[in-house]
Chain A
Amino acid sequence: MSVIPEGWEAVIGIETHVELQTRSKMFCGCRVDFGDEPNTAVCPVCLALPGALPVANEAAIDGIVRIGTALDCTINERSLFYRKNYFYPDLPKNYQISQYTYPVCEHGRIVVDVDGEPTVIGITRVHMEEDTGKSLHMGEGGRIQDADHTLLDFNRAGVPLVEIVTEPDIRTPDQARAYGAELQRIVRTLGVSDARLEEGSMRFDANVSVRRAGTSELGTRTEIKNVNSLRSMQRAIAFEIERQVEVLAAGGTVVQETRHWNEATGRTTAMRSKEESEDYRYFQEPDLLPLSIDERWRNRVKASMPELPAQLRARLVAAGADERTAGLLADSPLLAGLFDAAVRAGAEARTVASWLTGEVVAYARRVGASVGELHLTAEHLVELAAMVAGGELSATAAKQVLTGVLAGEGGPRQVAEAMDLLQISDSGAIEAVVADVVADHPDALEKIRSGDAKPIGFLVGQVMRATGGKADPKMVQEIIRRSAGL
């Protein structure tokens, strides 16, 4: 990706929204289900009918406590809900129940690794709120200003939403992307959300400013919205850094504003400026009591934490995978699980890791399946690795066998036999063939004995031809040398 112009530094903070996949919504009993017909998962509360009241969903609070714990946050014993007031048609109450002072979680951190450089990114706060409905703007443009009319779907209104805000600790688009990816992995590992960017169950807004390298004063920042993938976040931030540097270098000033990322043009454009921005008139939500998250609750969550991606990567490395491969494995709980089980059963770590991140991933991609759908078990990997270690399969043949296993043709041995790929590694059998070959070429043996190593290759070739290529070439060479008395 693009580099930051010489002499400049970017300061980046990221706000992330994660929809929790609880059974029911944040403040009512409606189901959380994104596949439903529009406006079927609704009730007086999430439609904001007159007189309806919210009641907080304990499962969602548990979800945010899990996220906060995974991010090394302080979990506040007492936390408050606030109303954030603004008018928008898909916000039924025209205020969002959110948090302001005393969020559920504060002061956490995430460590991300970019090209082997670990960077600590501070988490300012993690707070609980509710999602809005969805607006479908009909007609040109797809934005409310240009629409003929707008259709509203309130199924999403009131879905639990967690907002995670970083400190302005991020300096490059690459770090931003690495942060987003790591946060996504953590959320998925916790099982609180599928965290899909394309579908909006995880959404990023980036705050970007630039300053002269070596200065400490913060520049004027802009907020970038509408980034729908990690890559577009990285691109959008890179574009915005360049744009701001150009403005400042030309003697201009950066306007504090919200900017919309356009994936197609690869540019950000101004949405609204600070002067037009709203005053949300936050005040404490009188319909809800303060949240109380006591020590028992905090401890219970702590005790039930799964192995987090960073811990998993460290363990994979300790088990023998290199950093890069460990990272790839840790991205997929299934791959990591297979690796774990195979290595525990004695398979050689590097070999298994390279199969999983190489052939297995490539095969899944080729056939358009997920890893979970493939015919692959840890036992298969253990057996295959043993066949390679025992000299029955060459490294190349093993990959062919693996492909057969993935295609559902059977276990490794079955596939190897069917493909006729087993090596002859029985030394007796090879010795017999070597004896025959040497008997046919006595002069070659003589040359070797007199110190000319060149005919070894020739004799190995003859043995391989006689065995149809199935003899273990290393073993053949060894036996020939021995026959020549070397």
Chain B
Amino acid sequence: MTDLADLSIADAGRGLRDGEFTAQELLDATWRRAAVTEAHLHAYLVLDREGARRSAARADEELAAGTDRGPLHGIPVAVKDNLSTRGVETTCASQILAGYTPPYDATAVERLRDAGAVIVGKTNLDEFAMGSSTENSAYGPTRNPWDTDRVPGGSSGGSAAAVAAGSAFAALGSDTGGSIRQPAALTGLVGAKPTYGLVSRYGLVAFASSLDQIGPLARSVPDAVDVLSAIAGWDRHDATSYPGDVPEMGRSLDAGVQGVRIGVVTELMGEGIAPEVLAATASTIERLAAAGAEIVDVSMPSTEYALSAYYLIAPAECSSNLARFDGVRYGLRVDGGTVEEMMARTRAEGFGPEVIRRILLGTYALSAGYYDAFYGQAQKVRTLVRRDFAAAYEQVDVLVSPTSPTTAFRIGERSDDPIAMYYSDVCTIPSNLAGDPAVSVPVALDGTGLPIGFQVMAPQLGEEMMFRVAAEVERSAGFSFRAPLATSEVVEP
């Protein structure tokens, strides 16, 4: 019999409604799985056993009483630890927030609860979501369930590892430059960054406000759609949230790609991309063509500058967003002789090296005399990226590329080379700069058995078409591999 922890959200939901098992049993299966995998992975910073138990019990009572909250009712879900959770410690994997327990839920978390989801815990991340490997966590790295010597990607690496290993059915991540899609690619998951503004950022601890979006990591396209549908929609607490109707994201999953125009971003199909990744991407494109899609090569010249622009805009916003962590009101305080000294010591001791690096970069980029050359220039590149996308979408319905230039790399491999690490996001960053949706779908394993992700990008609010193509990619790839660690049998370390 299949372990309950490995079910899809749809199958788990069916079983719950058919009375085959209860939400509490789903949760127990999740705990059993976590008991095995956490020793190897460290996907979670906090497991909220008490809160989850109450939610699962309530989900069962409600279902018994005929109240059905929809697809996520009774489903164990994990939340990245940069999302505010009422009464559950939220540290963003930083020392500076050690012991901080928020008095409020992020809107996305509140909506998960309203949809009946059982929130099992808070997942590890690169400190304040700054990184591509989850090695920059003050509480230790998360490992990849496909190979525990390797990183799960980042910054939503904890969410990715948990879902890939089966210690959650799905998870929320946040994506500023690829932080959902790249770990999804590295752990064989579907990870979607929706249109900027589609999911409220209220309660997401800001890294780079104009780029951050919350989205799902899941084991299939339909699962990802279910989670995203539950959290999307206007929120009066976020002035940048989209006020119109939420697109029908799951309506066309079975529609196929006959006649769909798919653009291949030529700049992301060559130099810097691992040969096996390129090969998997090319064969995925061939399968799409075979399924009736019209394939067009599209040039996006601004892509070359997008990475540099991103590494000015994101640090600039982060330098301001992280200013509030000063030891005055919450979190760590390291005493000093004067208030300035207290703030400086708190920040020097509370932030890790990558966070400090980005704060310094951003502070410099915004400084008088440098603003025009750096931040101002980066904003111009951002405009060019948007124009490139807009021009492309006049010809095609979606754009495709690899998600990550490589498969999962070894822990420590890029730690001393920030530039190499930054390059991990070269394919994902343009969508953040444009505010467009993009999703990563697993399509193959490389020669060492590590998953390869394929990216589908769409214009703003084009989620329906994006998931339609993603579903075809998923079907045609027939990717049914599971991470070796996705087991509840005891595994010797």
Contacts and interface: CB of A to CB of B under 8 A. Distances in A.
A152 B330 CA distance: 13
Contact of A51 (B202, B317, B326, B368): B202
Contacts of B330: 49-50
Given A95-B323, A152-B328, A281-B320, A50 B84 contact: yes
B304 to A, nearest CB: 24
B358 interface: no
Contacts of B366: 85, 281-283
A288 B102 CA distance: 23
A44 B363 contact: no
A144 interface: yes
Given A95-B320, A283-B375, A50 B205 contact: yes
A55 B236 contact: yes
A279 B368 contact: yes
A64 B90 CA distance: 38
B375 A44 contact: no
A87 B102 contact: no
B250 to A, nearest CB: 28
A191 interface: no
B104 A44 contact: yes
B92 interface: yes
A93 B204 contact: no
Nearest to B104: A44
A437 interface: no
A94 B323 contact: yes
Interface of A is mostly: loop
Contacts of B205: 50-51
Interface string B110-137: 0000000000000000000000000000
Contacts of A47: 329
B239 A289 contact: yes
Contacts of B302: none
Contacts of B203: 51-52
Contacts of A56: 239
B240 A287 contact: yes
Nearest to B325: A50
Contacts of B316: 283
B66 interface: no
Q: Most chain-B CB neighbours within 10 Å: which of A144, A287, A289? A: A287
A93 B324 contact: yes
Interface string A43-60: 010011111111110000
A87 B343 contact: yes
Given A92-B329, A94-B323, A283-B320, A51 B206 contact: yes
B237 A87 contact: no
Contacts of B206: 51, 287
Interface in B70-118: 82-84, 90, 92, 97, 100, 102-104, 106
A87 B317 contact: no
A150 B338 CA distance: 11
A48 B84 CA distance: 13
Interface residues of A, number: 31
Interface of B is mostly: loop
Contact of A53 (B83, B238, B320, B371): B238
B367 A279 contact: yes
Q: Most chain-B CB neighbours within 10 Å: which of A56, A150, A279? A: A279
Q: Most chain-B CB neighbours within 10 Å: which of A44, A49, A50? A: A50
B201 interface: yes
Contact of B324 (A54, A92, A279): A92
A94 B347 CA distance: 13
B177 to A, nearest CB: 15
Nearest to A43: B104
A289 B371 CA distance: 21
Nearest to B97: A50
A336 B204 CA distance: 54
Nearest to B340: A87
A53 B375 contact: no
Contacts of A150: 339
Interface in A50-108: 50-56, 83, 85, 87, 89, 92-95
A266 interface: no
Interface in A392-438: none
Q: Most chain-B CB neighbours within 10 Å: which of A55, A56, A281, A282? A: A281
Nearest to B347: A87
B210 interface: yes
Given A85-B366, A281-B320, A287-B239, A48 B329 contact: yes
Given A85-B323, A87-B323, A287-B240, A53 B363 contact: no
The 4 closest A-B pairs by CB, nearest first: A94-B323, A281-B366, A286-B210, A286-B209
12 contacts: A48-B324, A49-B102, A50-B90, A50-B330, A51-B83, A51-B206, A52-B202, A55-B239, A87-B323, A150-B339, A283-B317, A288-B240
Given A50-B102, A87-B323, 7 more contacts: A50-B330, A85-B366, A89-B328, A150-B339, A279-B368, A281-B367, A283-B320
